[in-house]
Amino acid sequence: MSAAGIVIVGAGLAGAMAAAELRQQGYAGPLTLVGAEPHLPYDRPPLSKDVLLQADMPSCRLFPDGFFAERDITLRLGVAARALDANAGQLTLDNGETLAFAQLLLATGARARRLPLLDALGADLCHTLRTLDDAERLRAVLCPGLRVLLVGGGVIGMELAASVTERGAQAVVIECGDSIMARCAPPPLRDWLTAQHRQRGVQLHLGRAVREARRDGQTLTLTLDNGDTLSGDLLVYGVGAEPDTALAEQAGLRVAGGIVIDADSRTSHPRIFAAGDACCQLDAHGQPQRRETWESAKNQALAAVHAMLGLPTPRFDPPWFWTDQYGVNLQFAGDMRAPDWLLRGSLDDARAVWFGLDQGELIAAISINQGRDMRSLRQLIARRARQPAEVWQDPTRSLRELAR
C-alpha cells in the first residue's frame, strides 16, 4: 500500500488543475492522480471544434510533456477506481492496487446520457461526444457530403452542427425543446444563433422528439413524434450528461443529483473533497446546483486545494463559459435568466455585447467576438453595476473605465 498523502480520482480538468495547484501552493507530500482514460490530462472544449476541423490532429493536453514528473506527481492512468473506504482512508483500483490517503479529491466527471433507442443503431454510425477517443472516432468518419443527424440542440449539439457544416457535410438538428441552447442562453441570443445556423444550411427540427430509429445497411432513418421521417448517413446525439457518483455513493457521501459540496468543495466526509461535473454545489440558499462548465470545474478544484491546505477560500468572478460556432466567439458571464437585455454594437458584423439587467442592475453579459471586454464585464456584474441604458449601449463608453 502507498504512503498516505493526497489522492485525486479523475484526471480531467478539475483533477489536473488540483494537482498542479497543490504543488503551486507548496504541498510537498505524496500526490497521486488516478485517471480511467489512458491519455494524459486534456482539455475537452476543443473536442467538438478543433479536433474535428483542423487538418492535423491538434494536441488537447492541459500541460506540456514532463509537467507531472517534474512536480513529483504520480500518475495512474488507464486504471479506474473500484472502491472507496472513506473512514479507513483507502482507495482500491481495478488493477488490485490500494492507495492510502490522508485527503482525497473526487473529480470523477460525468458520462454522456445514453439513449438505448439510438445506441441500437450500431456504434459505427451512432456516436456520442464526451472523450478524446469519442472525438477521434467521429473525426475518422466525418467527411464532406455526409448527411449527419444531430439529436440534441444544446451547446455541444450546436457546436457540432457548425463543425459538421464547416467540414462540408449536411447537419440536421432534432431538439425536443422549442429553441436551441435553451438551458444556457437568453432568447435574444437563441434567435440570433438560430438564424446563423439556418443561413448556413443547417436544418432545425425544434419541439420534436425521436420516436423510432432504424437502420437499413448504411442508412439511418429517424421517425419524429409528428410522423416526419429523417434519413442520414451518421448520427451523433448529446442529450445531457450523468454525473459519475458511483464511488461517492459507495462511500456513503451525500449525493443529490451529484456529489454535494459546499463553497470549499468539501463533501459530507471531512477528509474528502470533490470538484467538476460530478458535483452539485450548495448555493447561498443551501440548494444543490450543478454547473457543467470549464470555469466551474477549475474554481471548485482551486477551492478544494485551498481548503485541504488550510488556506483562505479564493475569490472567484461571476460564472463564465464560452462557445465557438462558425468562427464566432461567444462568451457568457453571470445569470442568463436576466429579464431585460440591451444590445451594444451590431449583430450584422457579429461584434456586439448584450447586457442582462434585473431592475436596472447588471447581472449578466454576453460578448460576441468581443472577448477583450469580458474581464471588465465580469467585474461590473460582480458589483451589480447600474448605468443608464444609453451608457450601456454607447460603444464609445469604455467598459474598462466603467469597471474601475
Q: What DSSP string runs through 64-120?
A: -TTHHHHTTPEEEES--EEEEETTTTEEEETTS-EEEEEEEEE---EEEPP-HHHHT
Q: What are phi and psi of 215, to 5 degrees?
A: -130, 135
Residue 1 pLDDT exceeds 60: no
- The greatest distance separating any two alpha carbons of the chain, rounded to the nearest whole angstrom, comes to 66
Q: What is the DSSP secondary structure assignment for residue 230, as one 8-state letter?
A: E
With bands split at pLDDT 50, 70 and 90, how would you rate the model's confidence at 286?
confident
For the stretch 249-267, pLDDT in tens is: 999 999 999 999 999 999 9
Give the residue-averaged pLDDT of 194-213.
97
C-alpha cell at 169: 457535410
Q: How far is CA 267 from the centre of its chain?
A: 21
String of b and e for 32-54 (b: at least 16 CB within 10 Å)? Answer: bbbbbbeebbbbbbbbbbbbbbe
Q: How far is CA 122 from the centre of its chain?
A: 26
Cβ proximity of 86 and 42 under 8 Å = no
Cβ proximity of 119 and 112 under 8 Å = no
Q: How far is CA 33 from the centre of its chain?
A: 21
C-alpha cell at 170: 449536411
CA distance 76 to 5: 15
219-224, strands of its sheet edge to edge = 210-216, 219-224, 229-232
Give the residue-averaged pLDDT of 378-399.
96
Give the residue-averaged pLDDT of 18-26.
98
With bands split at pLDDT 50, 70 and 90, how would you rate the model's confidence at 395?
very high
CA distance 8 to 25: 16
Residue 271 pLDDT exceeds 90: yes
For the stretch 136-183, pLDDT in tens is: 999 999 999 999 999 999 999 999 999 999 999 999 999 999 999 998
Q: How far is CA 11 from the centre of its chain?
A: 15
Say what the pLDDT of residue 71 is: 97
Q: Out of 123-137, 240-254, 279-293, 356-370, which region has the weakest mean confidence (pLDDT)?
A: 279-293
C-alpha cell at 164: 459538421
Q: What are phi and psi of 116, to 5 degrees?
A: -55, -35
Q: What's the whole-number average pLDDT of the chain?
A: 95
Say what the pLDDT of residue 141 is: 96
CA distance 84 to 247: 6
Give the residue-averaged pLDDT of 376-383.
96
Q: What DSSP string runs through 112-156?
A: EPP-HHHHTT-TTTEE--SSHHHHHHHHHH--TT-EEEEE--SHH
Cβ proximity of 254 and 262 under 8 Å = no
